[in-house]
Amino acid sequence: MKRDLKFERFYPHPPERVWKALTDPDALAAWYMTNDFKPEVGHKFTFHTDPGPGFDGTLNCEVILVDAPHELIYSFIGGFMKRKTTVRWLLIAQEGGTLLRLEHTGFTGLTDAAVSFIIGSGWGRFLAQLPPLLDRLAQAEITES
Amino acid sequence: MRKTTGQVDTDIFAAIAHPVRRQILDTLLQGDMTVTALSAPFDVSRSAISQHLGILMDSGLVSMEKRGREHYYQLRPDNLNEIARWIGQYEHFWQQKLDALGDYLDEMAAQDEQEKS
């Protein structure tokens, strides 16, 4: 069962620049979220973003790993995430830029139940009514299994 | 009896977190049923099933209709769309942020260039 969110993007910029964008509080505030981040293991901080349904816009985080300019990991909890999830940024130097891999993992409990339930086989007939995302999730399930 | 969509809260997640309730929902996919019919496949008491049905009704995933002397339970799948939308928001959130990062990196590069010249 696929329960993690994984993304990959290539940016035509060196890892050092991407690293700065990911770890400098002012840079983070510009493109990501307002924050009191410090690239120090064990540092507890918050991200603030727009509130949404069931979400006050605050994410409580703690730095888990800092390996400049390769890897950054912090925990992430807020909204309907009932337990800590993990956000991992992996910077892979490539010809002419950086491949950035983002993994948002650790969804357990209710959220998992929701995801697995919706895309479970018994509910396949309702997929047509669901947003395109779920179709894609379901497709990913099929291709992965 | 039925909550409107858009009212989704943790209730709905709690509702589908329990395996018996998921099985009840799966069973209701086949059509409307009484609590007696719903209890049949389970090794739990009728009152336990009634309790599960109560939680499912609170979540808006199931509604009840009185037909003669019998109460029939039926599935209301619309609320699942709300869960789907929520999960979709996560993916949307990250895609949006990664776009913003790309733009920001371009700006950083342009600024570096300006400082050099």
Please state whether beta strands A44-48 and A34-35 pair in parallel, antiparallel, or not at all (unpaired): antiparallel
A43 to chain B nearest CA, in Å? 22
pLDDT at A145: 37
Rounded Cα distance between B84 and B88, Å, is 6
Residues 6+ apart with CB under 8 A from B85: A131
CB-based contact, A145 to chain B, within 8 Å = no
A113 to chain B nearest CA, in Å? 5
pLDDT at A2: 42
- Is A122 in Cβ contact with B13 (below 8 Å)? no
Task: Work out the angle between the directed axes of helices B78-116 and A15-23 (0-180°, nearest 10).
Answer: 120
Q: Please choose, from the candidates B73, B48, B47, B77, the residue with its C-alpha nearest in 3D space to the C-alpha of residue B60.
A: B77
pLDDT at B18: 78
* B10-79 placed in CATH 1.10.10.10: yes
User: Edge-to-edge strands of the sheet including B33-34?
Assistant: B33-34, B70-75, B62-67
pLDDT at A71: 98
Q: What's the pLDDT tens digit per position in A33-71?
A: 999 999 999 999 999 987 765 567 888 999 999 999 999
Rounded Cα distance between A13 and B31, Å, is 56
pLDDT at B71: 93
Report ipTM (2 d.p.): 0.72
Residue A11 binned pLDDT confidence (cut-offs 50, 70, 90): very high
- Is A32 in Cβ contact with B95 (below 8 Å)? no
CB-based contact, B80 to chain A, within 8 Å = yes
Q: Among B90, B92, B112, which would you mutate to test the A interface (most chain A Cβ atoms within 10 Å of its Cβ)?
A: B90
| pLDDT digits (tens), chain B, 117 positions | 333 444 444 467 677 777 788 888 878 877 899 999 999 888 888 999 999 999 999 888 899 999 999 999 998 876 666 666 666 667 778 888 999 999 999 999 999 888 887
pLDDT at A89: 95
Q: What's the pLDDT tens digit per position in A64-102?
A: 999 999 999 999 887 656 678 889 999 999 999 999 999
- Is B98 in Cβ contact with A102 (below 8 Å)? yes
Residue pair B53/B44 in contact by the 8 Å Cβ criterion: no
Domains of chain A as residue ranges with CATH: 5-107 (3.30.530.20), 109-145 (no CATH)
B79 to chain A nearest CA, in Å? 10
